[in-house]
Amino acid sequence: MQDAGFVRKAFAGIASRYVLANHVLSLGIDCLWRRTTANRIVQLKPKLVLDLATGSGDLAQAIQKACPEAKVLGADFSVPMMREAQARRFHQLIAADGMALPFKDDVFDVLTVAFGLRNMASWPAALQEMSRVLRPGGTLFVLDFSIPRIPGIRQLYLFYLKHVMTRIAGWITGQREAYVYLCGSIERFPSGKEMEALICANGFQSACAKQLTFGIASLYEAKKAS
C-alpha cells in the first residue's frame, strides 16, 4: 500500500514547479514519451478518453492535440495540480480519486495513466477500477518510469535516481523530501513482465510493454475483455 496522504501533500507542495522539474530531470525526454503515447492512441480513433492522475494535464493535452475529434477528460485527486493544468489552458477536468472513480461502468474508449499508478494506494484495486470504467474492448495505457536492465545503464540510472535527481528536484521545488519518496517509489514499482502480469490479473488481457529510452520508462498497453 502506498501512503495516499503523503502523496496528496507532496503533490500539493510541488505543483507550481512540477512541470519545470519534470523537463529538467528528464532533459525534456518526458515530452517525447507523452507524444509516443498520444500517437499510439490516434490509431484507435477513440471518442472518449480519460487521463487519470492527469496532474498538470501534459498527457491530456498531447492526446487532445493528436485526437481533435475525441473528448479528453482529465481526472486527479490533487486540486493544486489541476490548477496548473488550468493555467496551461486545459479545462476538461474533474477532481476524482483513482480508487473510486465517479463514472458509470463501461464508459471510456481509452484510459491513460502517466506516472500516476505508481502512487495510488493499491495498484490492483486501482487497475480494477480502471477496468470498470473502460468499455469492453477498451484500451488501457500505463506510462511510468522503470529500471533499465542493460548493464552499465542500469547502475548509472540508479545512481542518478538516488543521488542526483532528488538533489536537483529539491533545488527546483524546495521539496526534496517529496522527491526522495517519489524516486524511491520507482524502484518499488513493478516493470516489464511483472507489470504485464499485474495488469492482466486485474481486469485486462493481452498486456504488452514497450521500453522507452533504454528502459528508463515503459509504456504498457492492455485491452479490457470484450
pLDDT top residue among 15 and 182: 182
- Residue 145 CA: distances (Å) to CA of 23, 160, 197, 213: 14, 13, 17, 10
Q: Could you tell me the three cell numbers for 35?
A: 507524444
As its CATH architecture, domain 4-223 has 3-Layer(aba) Sandwich (3.40)
Residue 52 has pLDDT above 60, yes or no: yes
The pLDDT, as a whole number, for residue 26 is 75
- The stretch 36-45 carries a mean pLDDT of 97
Tens-digit pLDDT profile for residues 56-90: 999 999 999 999 999 999 999 999 889 999 998 99
Residue 221 has pLDDT above 80, yes or no: yes
Q: Which residues contact 159 (CB under 8 A, 6 or more apart)?
A: none
The pLDDT, as a whole number, for residue 25 is 67
- The stretch 167-177 carries a mean pLDDT of 80
In the β-sheet with 48-52, what is the strand arrangement from edge to edge?
A: 93-95, 71-76, 48-52, 108-114, 134-145, 217-223, 205-212
Residue 42 has pLDDT above 80, yes or no: yes
The pLDDT, as a whole number, for residue 140 is 98
Residue 7 has pLDDT above 70, yes or no: no
The pLDDT, as a whole number, for residue 165 is 83
The pLDDT, as a whole number, for residue 192 is 93
The pLDDT, as a whole number, for residue 11 is 65
Indicate the range of 6-20, 30-44, 82-96 predicted with least confidence. 6-20
The pLDDT, as a whole number, for residue 169 is 78
Residue 24 has pLDDT above 70, yes or no: no
Q: Where are the beta strands (DSSP E) in 85-204?
A: 93-95, 108-114, 134-145
Extents of the domains making up the chain:
4-223
Residue 156 has pLDDT above 70, yes or no: yes
Please name every residue paired with 137 in a beta bridge, in sequence order, or none if there are none: none
The pLDDT, as a whole number, for residue 222 is 98
Q: Are 85 and 93 in contact (CB under 8 A)?
A: yes
The pLDDT, as a whole number, for residue 173 is 79
Residue 10 has pLDDT above 70, yes or no: no
- Residue 73 CA: distances (Å) to CA of 91, 96, 206: 9, 11, 25
Residue 1 has pLDDT above 60, yes or no: no
Output the average pLDDT for the chain: 90
